Amino acid sequence: MTENRHDLKLSGFEATAQATAKAVATCLCTAVAYFVGATIAKTSGTPVSPWWPASGVALAALLVWGAPAAPGIYAGLALGNLLHGLPEKFAWEAPLGLLGESCAALVLLRLALGKNPRFYEWNAVLALVLVAPWLPALANGLLAEQFFDTSTQAKLLRSSSDLAIFVLANGFGIALVAPALLVWKNAPDARWWQRMALLVPATTAMGWGIFTFSLPGTLLLLPLLAAAASVDLRGTAPLVLLTSFAVFMFSGRGAGPFALAGGGIDFVAIYTFLAILAFGLLPLAAFCGGQRRRLQVKGAGGRAAGLRFWSWTDDAGAKLADSNEVVAPGELFEMQRGRGSLETKSKGRDALSFWMVTARRSNGQPREVSGVLIDVSERLQMEQTRREIYQAEIELRNLRASLAPHLLFNCLAALRGVVRSDPEKARSFIDHLSRFLRTSTDAQAQPTISLLDEWQLCEDFLALQALRYERELPRLVDIDGPAYQARVPPMMLLNLVENATKHGEISQRYPLVVQAQMHGGELSAVVRNHGQFVEIPIQRPSGLTVARARLQVVYGNKASLLIGQEGTDVVAVLKIPGESTRS
């Protein structure tokens, strides 16, 4: 009971440590996002909410880390407020508004998408950009306007237009920042990185040219549309986020198409542009990614099943869908038949071609034929494997059936020598032998038995051998408690013990040593006896040959039996994967 309570305390400590780590990470991320937003607000000189990037970070943290992220959100925002010199009352109370905004957005998403949304799918993206941001951001702005004297505490909401800008900024913070953080659960492949390496400098160069020469802002959509088509949401969302940062930063400095000629920023144009990014480009990127994944799954499924689609036209010939390989029509279909199947070869492997004529000419000749090649070489290999497994099972049955007669013959030979000379000893020998044979017969009816039962067989065998040789067979046995519960093929350890008594010296000076213990789910059993090891030719059958064959059939390459010389002793080491044994 003490150990169980200790484990519970340790688990509780680990859970607390993980929750604390999540809260600290959220605090740092939220604080960094706050400083980015504050820098943009200060640069633009307009009432853009300094918390708009933090709103997206906060929602993403709640979605990824759950409740432990909530205190981190509040701490990060309060830290940013205090370091920016805002009034203390405002600094401590205002973060509650954004925390409530994030929690409300989370609730709306849960209602719309359930507990485990897939944010790389277009419908989840639409919910993220249309459902989650706006009502929570509006409620946050109204509460801030109601409860704070912003004219003296923080110059934030001074008019209805300021409130609209605040709501739009926080809403787009969720719509643009959160997707960029939620789509990185799975690592992209190398080809994705190659495409991304081309798009990042292209987007950067396009943005530099637009803001330097005041070109139309819609040109920014060109590289982002290319991103939507080639790197889906995982690449498009970060590029969109960086583009939105650049729009605010450069426009605040009076550069680019969103800066007004007399100074200031055209917020109508900016938020229209952000709406295009959030409501149009991000769902489009998710849709393109979904289509690409479906095609990849379809192609992977076809390859896994050995399928190769093909088509034939009388003017262009045969064409395989996944290569430019030239195939003669006669290898794919028969002209005189409208549909059917044909044995053929595909890349040198056995295949079946199924086809159907999809268009004919006026004279009845095929004009277009479609079909599929099915690789059947794997199926043939599977049939061969099944035959080999069946043969191995037959061999295992034969091997197991040969064990009992082998021991019985040895015992009967020993019994013959004492029947006349010592009848009482012969009766005791017969009693031991009958009990041993009954126990061993029951054991061989099972694929595996516990090491405890196996060792009892060994003890009975050693008792028989002691009666046979008319002397004690001293032994040192060291078997760990957990090892007794490990399961072994019946009479496997007995083979090693029999081999030691038959070929080695066992005496008071040189006792038989048997050790067994578990190591990481693997049973390791050692049988040691005094003697000289002699390698038996592979061609000669022996108990060890049978034992190795049984291990190979039952466990394959996961088990081993090694025997060799160590000093003056012969040592046999048996290793069996305990977690893979069959009961």
- 460 CB-near residues (< 8 Å, 6+ apart): 432, 435, 436, 439
In this prediction, residue 157 carries a pLDDT of 47
In this prediction, residue 406 carries a pLDDT of 61
pLDDT exceeds 50 at position 152: no
In this prediction, residue 103 carries a pLDDT of 94
| Contact predicate 69/26, CB 8 Å | yes
Find tokens 């005189």 and name the residue. 336
In this prediction, residue 55 carries a pLDDT of 92
d(CA 148, CA 161): 17
- 429 CB-near residues (< 8 Å, 6+ apart): 411, 414, 415, 418, 464, 467, 468
Tell me the average pLDDT across 289-302.
Answer: 74
pTM of the model: 0.54
Tell me the average pLDDT across 382-405.
Answer: 59
In this prediction, residue 2 carries a pLDDT of 42
Strand order in the sheet with 569-577: 475-479, 512-519, 522-530, 569-577, 560-566
| Contact predicate 319/311, CB 8 Å | yes
- Angle at CA 578, nearest 5°, toward 577 and 582? 100
Q: Report CA torsion sign: 223, 224, 227, 228.
A: negative
Confidence of residue 437 (pLDDT cuts 50, 70, 90): confident
Tell me the average pLDDT across 12-17.
Answer: 82
For the stretch 328-358, pLDDT in tens is 778 888 888 888 888 888 777 778 888 898 8
For the stretch 159-187, pLDDT in tens is 566 778 888 888 999 999 999 998 876 77
| Contact predicate 88/71, CB 8 Å | no
**Which tops the pLDDT comparison, 91 or 306?**
91
In this prediction, residue 93 carries a pLDDT of 86
What size, in residues, is the chain?
583
For the ranges 258-262, 359-363, 389-393, the lowest mean pLDDT is seen at 389-393
| Contact predicate 231/293, CB 8 Å | no
pLDDT exceeds 60 at position 19: yes
Confidence of residue 395 (pLDDT cuts 50, 70, 90): low
pLDDT exceeds 60 at position 504: yes
Tell me the average pLDDT across 475-481.
Answer: 91
In this prediction, residue 324 carries a pLDDT of 64
